[in-house]
Structure 1
Amino acid sequence: MLTLEGDKVYLRALEPEDLDFIVEVENTEEFWEISATRVPYSRFLIKKYIQNSHRDIFDVKQLRLVICTMEDAPIGLIDIFDLEPKDRRAALGILIVNDENRGKGYGAQALSLVCDYCFTHLGLHQVYAGVTTDNLASIKLFENNNFEKVGIKKDWILVNGIFKDEILYQLINNVY
């Protein structure tokens, strides 16, 4: 089992017991904007996804990890996706599910842990993320974790009939 641990949170692989948590997250319309989801997912499909989550990241080009407090409570998800092994880069996405767990440093530590994993274990040269310009918490999260704003994609995301701009952030690892 993959475990990456800090002093506030740890990251772990998906487990069958996460089914209800993942179903709730994937079917919460409020989160669809950040995940490009447009329709609900069935329990059956999510169960199959969890059953296949053991597959190698270099094969499936993605990895989803559960963010847990040190008390073993799942509070969010962090994804590595669009992995490009040849170019040694991948996209990141992070979600802390409930407001009461936001602003406590959980997301920052999870992001730091997953970046370290990407650079040291996956051998990536860079990770990147897209954040809508109105997502101030995520902008602060990525900027406080040394991600550099490298561009803005105009009218990139359509939400409720309104186009939103998306900021592109990169973190390039020059150590490895």
Structure 2
Amino acid sequence: MLTLTGEKLYLRALEPEDLEFIYEIENNESIWEISATQTPYSRFLIKQYLENAHQDIYEAKQLRLVMVNMKKESIGLIDLFEFDPKNKRVGVGLLIAKSEHKHKGYGKEALQLVCNYAFKHLHVHQVYANIGEDNLASINLFESLDFKQIGVKRDWTFINGEFKNEVFYQKIAE
């Protein structure tokens, strides 16, 4: 079995054909809170980003993969970010794009696949995630895969006129 292929989905590199899919996600104001986005992205900027997406994770310090179900539908994105080979750690974040694909096990399988990839191929010692304290679905997802809450960043993000806490989760290699 390939590292990035599961029973329900597989993870693949970004392609030029993903322009509209990424455009819709990046310009969806309802998820700006989790992506720390504050302004819309143009198709031109996303096209440039896709043209440079071939960079190796050791060079770019990040890797964005598309989550594709077995019907060949792009259903979300999973990112490795702030890759730090010296300290052997990497951050992870994921997003299921449409509600009809949520609560079907896609997020759990994608997170499991990308963690296995990070531990096996990138040789990291830990994978971590920053999750809004009120994002219970994500907290449950990460905890179901043995991520441990190790701290709370108080008043970390300022959203819709109020400060919100962010919870820091970590999974250490076994």
- Length-normalised TM-score, structure 2: 0.97
Per the alignment, residue 132 of structure 2 pairs with 132
Give the Cα–Cα distance (whole angstroms) in 1 for the partners of residues 102 and 162 of structure 2. Answer: 26
Matched with 2:65 is: 65
The residue type paired with residue 77 of structure 1 is: L
C-alpha contact 2:75 2:96 (8 A) present in aligned 1: yes
Whether contact under 8 Å (1:3, 1:10) holds in the other structure is no
Structure 2, unmatched stretches of 5+, are none
Letter in 2 for 1:19: L
Q: CA deviation at 1:3?
A: 7.2
Instruction: String of CA shifts for 1:18-42, please: whole Å, max 9, x gaps.
Output: 0000000000001111111100011
Asked if 1:47 is matched to 2:52, the reply is no
Q: What residue number does 2:6 align with?
A: 6
Report runs of 4+ in structure 1 exceeding 2 Å deviation. Answer: none
Taking only the aligned residue pairs, the percentage that are identical comes to 58
Give the distance between the partners of 2:34 and 2:57, measured in 1 at CA: 21
What is the distance in 2 between the residues matched to 1:28 and 1:100? Answer: 16
Letter in 2 for 1:82: E
Distance in structure 1 (CA, Å) of the matches to 2:144 and 2:154:
23
Question: Equivalents in 1 of 2:83, 2:29: separation in Å?
Answer: 26
- Give the Cα–Cα distance (whole angstroms) in 1 for the partners of residues 125 and 70 of structure 2: 30
What are the ranges of 5 or more consecutive residues in structure 1 without an aligned counterpart? Answer: none
**Does the 8 A contact of 1:3 with 1:13 survive in 2?**
no
2:87 aligns to what SS in structure 1?
coil
Structure 2 CA distance for aligned equivalents of residues 137 and 15 of structure 1: 29
Q: Which residue number in structure 2 is paired with residue 90 of structure 1?
A: 90
Count residues with an aligned counterpart.
Answer: 173
Contact 1:156/1:165 (8 A) holds in 2: yes
Q: AA paired with 1:84?
A: D
- TM-superposed deviation, 1:155: 0.4
